[in-house]
Amino acid sequence: MVAAWRAMPDEREAQGGLRKYDEVSPITASREEIEQAVQDADLPALLAALAMITADETLIADDLRPPTPPMGASIKGQGGMSDEAQAKARSLAVRAIVAYRDRGSPSPEVPDAAWLNRIMRFMTKDAGDDYLPLLSSELGLPRDMGAPDWRKEDLAPGRDFSVAVIGAGLSGVAAAHRLSQSGVSFTVFERSEDVGGVWWANRYPGCRLDTPNFAYSLSFAQRQDWPQQFSRQSEIQSYIAEVTRLAHLRPHIRFGVEVTGLTWDEAAAVWRLSIREADGSRSERRFNAVISAVGQLSQPSIPEIEGLDGFKGRWFHSAQWPADIDVKGKRVAVIGAGASAYQIVPSIVDEVDALRVFQRNPPWMLPTPTYHDDIKPGMAWLLRHIPYYGRWFRFWQFWIAAEGRLPSVQVEKDWKHPVSVGRANERLRQECMAHLEAQLTDRPDLLEKLTPNYPPGAKRMLRDNGVWTAALKRPHAQLITEPLARIEGDAIVTADGERHEVDVIVFATGFLASDYLHPMKVIGREGRDLHEWWAGDCRAYLGVVIPGFPNLFMSCGPNTGVVVNGSAIFSAECAVKYATSAIGEMLAKGYSAIDCRMEPFEAFNRRVDAENLTKSWGVATVSSWYRNAAGRASQTWPFSLLEYWRVTQSADMGDFVLTKAG
Ligand code: NAP
């Protein structure tokens, strides 16, 4: 193995076992084999990786620069490079790889920031200087910028200080790793028996990513051998488990233990955690600070339907798919047509006897022909052998989606169209419609039912490789748009009085996203009950901190969901960075409590609310988890990724009411 980290011993130490992700195997392949592999390469990322290890400027010459056209409904291959540029890139890449092989595949040095910036500018064309620090942070080179730049033993060696992390999904693992790097004592509470969060819970057939996988990974644990660009649930789950093991986090996690409540103790300046232990007994633990990493989409939402309790068959939520259920030969109803239903329906259609899909609103689908494809063999070979190629490929996926489709959801004031909200939104609508129409030329009835009457981006857009319409076209499948009325014995009865007899009902009906932190009871300063105070409208400052609830930090909190650009991992890592920075300040300055002031909280929420109204999800009235019962977009981040990154890099103590430790 070639250990990619040859420089920077401190960095190596801090990364611990996670260095594994940067190891590649020495090259012994023939020139012909290398040429073959390069045919499958993602070229912009390959040129960048080779430029990095060879310092050869010809690999990042202007005529090879990917034009990266603005993102439409689908992503252009090779960043839109011309055929000539691609041919030249392949030939230069083969030459560079052969030369690297002939030098014995040495471990490269990590180059200086100036050379890395050159390469990043080549990849990104017009990313301004302001963007480069964010991109460098995502690349994780020349150093891991998300790591705290302080150690507890240096700031407050004698101070007794501990942090509770609630949840061991991706954001909980990120928080735990950063706390571990800082040397602060911490305990993670996870109600399930293993790490993974939503990826542990959601085991329904067909569960997989719908965000490109390399970008959907932690910046400090950049796995290089993803088998697909949109991997399956089991792969993501294994990754989270592996990161936890490699970063030595497991001993800090208490599995099967649920935090049921948090109460702020003013006199002691600690949070008292009410805990349900794995054996059902109750206990209490005290922590100076809490990072909630419970996620946005973890509490299943099941509609109240008359007669459900008397249903004669089995019913369950998509996120609680029973291990012992066999749908083979059964008549199955799937209620909902969102992201989960979209994956379940094509996966079970061949097994079931009859399939009835109950849809209220059809989803918008982005053409993604490669959605289920494996990483091509040549690409996989390159990822195994070219140092940092995986990092640059992740970087590239991150960059092309960075502000991604944000312009395509922009509301234009004078735009008059019954569905779309602006020119770019209309272009996106037409592209998606053309893709849908092409699949349904033989089924005008289905086309009518599957045509959304709300603007693209107003709710989660799905990835389409044709499997959804193919499943719905099957003779034993039926798409029902009539509203549900009740359940009678073994049948779902729709508003038109029709009885649909079924053996199994799958509720793919989403999550209680706006009941953030539910069902924990959270009592802050002066006995303030958080959920009463929110009154169904969760808000926070930067999505992380809430006035009256000192020393409590949230990741994936209110208004942090990046829904057409980036991924939830990005915002989770930003929130964790903010939380660890605030904890560092508490230790450095001797604060026992830091409590967000009302003024920045209110100003932030006013700004976010105003900007959300300029996006399709802010003005459309279609139901979605982006908005709460009052119609406010309480989950979405409407600005750029760059802005969220900037505001979360360090906590400004001017935004807090500060209490000194006595
Ligand atoms: P969802 O997108 O919220 O979809 C819920 C579906 O259930 C919608 O079709 C909704 O209809 C329908 N529904 C809700 N209440 C209903 C009722 N009372 N009667 C009839 N239909 C009802 O939920 P989801 O599919 O579980 O996905 C939630 C989110 O999880 C996604 O948006 C995505 O962010 C994430 N997710 C990600 C992946 C992935 O990465 N692969 C996979 C699954 C989920 P309306 O549209 O009319 O509201």
Return all residues near 38 (Cβ < 8 A) that are at least 6 apart.
46, 90, 93, 94, 97, 378, 382
Return all residues near 174 (Cβ < 8 A) that are at least 6 apart.
218, 220, 293, 555, 569, 572, 573, 576
Q: Please give the C-alpha separations between residue 109 and each of 5, 48, 150, in angstroms, as whole numbers.
A: 7, 15, 25
Q: Does residue 510 line the site of ligand 1, with CB under 6 A?
A: yes
Return all residues near 176 (Cβ < 8 A) that are at least 6 apart.
165, 168, 186, 188, 244, 247, 249, 252, 253
**pLDDT of the residue at 10:** 46
User: Residue 474 Cα, ligand 1 centroid: separation in angstroms?
Assistant: 22
Distance of alpha carbon 8 from its chain centroid, rounded?
30
Q: Does residue 191 line the site of ligand 1, with CB under 6 A?
A: no
**pLDDT of the residue at 256:** 98
Q: Does residue 320 line the site of ligand 1, with CB under 6 A?
A: no
Q: Does residue 216 line the site of ligand 1, with CB under 6 A?
A: no
Q: Please give the C-alpha separations between residue 577 and each of 143, 480, 584, in angstroms, as whole numbers.
A: 15, 46, 10
**pLDDT of the residue at 661:** 85
Do 368 and 463 contact (CB within 8 A), yes or no? yes
C-beta neighbour count of 526 within 10 angstroms: 8
Q: Does residue 208 line the site of ligand 1, with CB under 6 A?
A: yes
**pLDDT of the residue at 662:** 77
**pLDDT of the residue at 33:** 98
Into which CATH architecture does domain 152-209+241-299+513-660 fall? 3-Layer(bba) Sandwich (3.50)
308-364+424-507 folds as FAD/NAD(P)-binding domain (3.50.50)
d(CA 107, CA 637): 40
Question: Where along the chain do its domains lie?
Answer: 2-127+374-402, 152-209+241-299+513-660, 308-364+424-507
d(CA 260, CA 35): 58
| Residue 509 CA, closest ligand 1 atom number | 7
Whose C-alpha lies nearest to ligand 1, atom 32? 460
Residues in the chain with pLDDT values less than 70:
1-16, 69-70, 126
Q: Please give the C-alpha separations between residue 527 and each of 155, 264, 554, in angstroms, as whole numbers.
A: 32, 8, 20
- 233, 297, 366, 480: which to mutate for ligand 1, most atoms within 8 A of CB? 297
Q: Does residue 509 line the site of ligand 1, with CB under 6 A?
A: yes
Distance of alpha carbon 106 from its chain centroid, rounded?
35
User: Residue 623 Cα, ligand 1 centroid: separation in angstroms?
Assistant: 10
Q: Does residue 335 line the site of ligand 1, with CB under 6 A?
A: yes
User: Residue 368 Cα, ligand 1 centroid: separation in angstroms?
Assistant: 20
d(CA 317, CA 335): 9
Nearest in space to 402 (alpha carbons), one of 194, 127, 39, 614? 127
User: Residue 360 Cα, ligand 1 centroid: separation in angstroms?
Assistant: 11
**pLDDT of the residue at 139:** 94
Nearest in space to 64 (alpha carbons), one of 41, 48, 40? 48
Q: What share of the chain is helix, strand, coil (3-state, %, to 5)?
A: 40, 15, 45
Q: Does residue 625 line the site of ligand 1, with CB under 6 A?
A: yes
Type and span of the H or E element at 172: helix 170-182
Return all residues near 316 (Cβ < 8 A) that are at least 6 apart.
322, 325, 505, 506, 507
Q: Does residue 339 line the site of ligand 1, with CB under 6 A?
A: yes
What backbone phi and psi angles, to 5 degrees, belong to 546? Answer: -130, 130
- 306, 317, 360: which to mutate for ligand 1, most atoms within 8 A of CB? 360
d(CA 127, CA 115): 15
Beta strands in 209-364 (DSSP E): 253-255, 258-265, 270-276, 282-287, 289-292, 314-317, 331-335, 354-358
**pLDDT of the residue at 405:** 85
**pLDDT of the residue at 7:** 42
AA letter at 247:
A
- 213, 482, 484, 509: which to mutate for ligand 1, most atoms within 8 A of CB? 509
Whose C-alpha lies nearest to ligand 1, atom 16? 509
d(CA 249, CA 243): 8
List pLDDT tens digits, range 136-172: 999 999 889 999 999 999 999 999 999 999 999 999 9
Whose C-alpha lies nearest to ligand 1, atom 3? 510
| Residue 568 CA, closest ligand 1 atom number | 34
d(CA 163, CA 185): 6
Beta strands in 510-580 (DSSP E): 521-523, 552-554
**pLDDT of the residue at 69:** 64
- Single pTM value for the model: 0.96
How do beta strands 365-367 and 354-358 pair? unpaired
d(CA 172, CA 291): 8
User: Residue 525 Cα, ligand 1 centroid: separation in angstroms?
Assistant: 35
- Fold agreement between 152-209+241-299+513-660 and 308-364+424-507: yes
d(CA 446, CA 456): 19
| Residue 211 CA, closest ligand 1 atom number | 40
Q: Does residue 623 line the site of ligand 1, with CB under 6 A?
A: yes
